[in-house]
Chain A
Amino acid sequence: MAEPAAADALDFEGWVCPLPLRDSPAIVMGHGGGGALSAELVEHLFLPAYGAAADTTLGDSAVLELLGGRIAFSTDSYVVKPLFFPGGSIGDLAVNGTVNDLAMSGAVPVALSTAFILEEGTPLTDLGRVAQSVGAAATRAGVRLVTGDTKVVDSGSGDGVFVNTAGVGVVPDGVDIRPTRARPGDVILVSGDIGVHGIAVMSCREGLQFGTTVESDSAPLHELVAVMLGTGADVHVLRDPTRGGVAASLHEIAGAAGVGVELVEQQLPVPQPVMDACGLLGLDPLYVANEGKLLAFVPPDDAEQVLEAMRAHPYGKSAVIIGSVVADHPGMVVARTALGGNRVVDLPLGEQLPRIC
């Protein structure tokens, strides 16, 4: 986290009001109390930072007019450490993560709530930077930030800033995307390089610092999904492989649908710097977290056209086929190694730890 800085060190570009917030450069318990301090924080830090994405009505709940259709609803909490890492911050993840959860059902995301749990003593400059990145990500994704909450916990009870975002979106008619639709014969596509986000975050973790050019790939994917659906293809499954990596996502889908998955190791798009970092720490790229990437299961006849459509979009330009669905070994993911052998790609237990052996 950044060291507490003077209020005038914060970037105020575009903000309506300068940071008043009494004389405190850091979060205090009162900011979570619902009184004047809370109101000041919303009015003078969050709203200006959110910019055009914010709905300023400030009621207890937001009333949304949604176009007819099924509503997709998702929530996620963001606890990443450190808050700021190469290529992004917890703010980017908080918006893109929930936008993507909605997009994986084929939904057009409409609005998000943002709830913050702040540790007393968190520098306001850090919170300001996070809020700014939330606003910028929401604007980029075209979603509104319509309601929120702030609570403060005792120093030592948290990690600076925890964020929860919940989001709603509308699923167009005729779209039916869910893990149980995976079928033997389906082709599995990934939208681009894997292992990128996890390595970017790991590279600045205490005890592991290493210099790398890898930056987080956090990005909103709903427009890429729209382009894929726009081909008329019957996309069966979409999943964004976050914690646990591609391995975890494939495992869950295989288990949910009662099918097996076969991967071709040589097809996996692992960029060289990710490969090198994994080699150094003894990690397997299949288990490393991703952010702005998706997996798609499509019927074999639709695969080429979906791939082509993805490659024409900025977030899908490196899309490739990495495997297929089979009827054998239901619930298991098996990879054909470069040497021609087979190995089971198991569900990761927990966080991958660097190893010496």
Chain B
Amino acid sequence: MCLAVPGRVVTREERDGTTMAEVDFGGVRKDVCCQYIPDVETGDYVIVHVGFAIQRLDEESALQTLAEFERMSILEEEFGDQFALAARQAGVDVPATDETQEEGPR
């Protein structure tokens, strides 16, 4: 459920006592009710579902998440370090040997 997409708030106005905004989804624009994000400002990114902004999109968090994915490398050998494999199976934190090694449980 929940087809919701991120868009950028372009304009904000009060209509019939409700906070409405024109939201830009990369070129497509739609009127969105922002009553649930009372402090919404133009330039903010919001997550929109059926014409309502249900949450702010945390841009910094989005970029951090992507950066974390970038830090993971494509493993060249199938299972790499056998010691690391054994350690994982035992549930022991694997020491980060280099940047390409994924950290243990978060």
Chain A residues with CB under 8 Å of chain B are 209-213, 272-273, 275-277, 279-280, 282, 355-357
Q: List 24 A-B contacts (CB under 8 A).
A: A209-B30, A210-B29, A210-B30, A211-B28, A211-B29, A211-B30, A212-B27, A213-B27, A272-B26, A273-B28, A275-B26, A276-B25, A276-B26, A276-B28, A277-B28, A279-B5, A279-B25, A280-B5, A282-B3, A355-B3, A356-B1, A356-B2, A356-B49, A356-B50
A240 CB, nearest partner CB in chain B, Å = 25
Complex: chain A residue closest to B7, CB-CB: A280
Complex alpha-carbon distance, A211 and B49, angstroms? 17
Complex: chain A residue closest to B48, CB-CB: A280
Interface of chain B: mostly helix, strand, loop or mixed: strand
B 2-35 binary contact with A (CB < 8 Å = 1; else 0)? 1101000000000000000010011111100000
Q: A280–B28 contact, CB under 8 A?
A: yes
Complex: chain A residue closest to B4, CB-CB: A356
Complex: chain B residue closest to A203, CB-CB: B28
Q: Given A356-B49, A356-B50, does the pair A212, B28 have CB atoms closer than 8 Å? A: yes
Please classify how large the interface on chain B is, using the bins under 10, 10 to 19, 20 to 34, 35 or more: 10 to 19
Complex: chain B residue closest to A279, CB-CB: B5
Complex alpha-carbon distance, A355 and B5, angstroms? 13
Q: Given A356-B49, A357-B1, does the pair A280, B27 have CB atoms closer than 8 Å? A: no
Complex alpha-carbon distance, A217 and B46, angstroms? 32
Complex alpha-carbon distance, A275 and B29, angstroms? 13
Complex alpha-carbon distance, A167 and B49, angstroms? 46
On chain B, the residues within 8 Å of A357 by CB distance are: 1-3
Complex: chain A residue closest to B26, CB-CB: A276
Q: Given A210-B30, A356-B49, A356-B50, does the pair A280, B25 have CB atoms closer than 8 Å? A: yes
B63 CB, nearest partner CB in chain A, Å = 20
B 78-102 binary contact with A (CB < 8 Å = 1; else 0)? 0000000000000000000000000
Q: A210–B28 contact, CB under 8 A?
A: yes
The A-contacting residues of B in range 37-63, CB under 8 angstroms, are: 48-50
On chain B, the residues within 8 Å of A276 by CB distance are: 25-28
Given A210-B28, A213-B27, A276-B27, 5 new contacts (CB under 8 A): A211-B29, A272-B26, A279-B25, A280-B5, A356-B3
Complex alpha-carbon distance, A70 and B63, angstroms? 62
B1 CB, nearest partner CB in chain A, Å = 5
Complex alpha-carbon distance, A355 and B29, angstroms? 18
Q: Given A356-B1, A356-B2, does the pair A272, B49 have CB atoms closer than 8 Å? A: no
B27 CB, nearest partner CB in chain A, Å = 4
On chain B, the residues within 8 Å of A275 by CB distance are: 26
On chain B, the residues within 8 Å of A277 by CB distance are: 28
On chain B, the residues within 8 Å of A211 by CB distance are: 22, 28-30
Complex: chain A residue closest to B25, CB-CB: A276
Complex alpha-carbon distance, A280 and B49, angstroms? 9
Complex alpha-carbon distance, A209 and B22, angstroms? 12
Complex alpha-carbon distance, A357 and B1, angstroms? 4
Q: Given A356-B49, A357-B1, A357-B2, does the pair A273, B29 have CB atoms closer than 8 Å? A: no
Interface pairs A-B: 10 shortest CB-CB: A211-B29, A273-B27, A276-B26, A276-B28, A210-B30, A282-B3, A357-B1, A277-B28, A212-B28, A276-B25
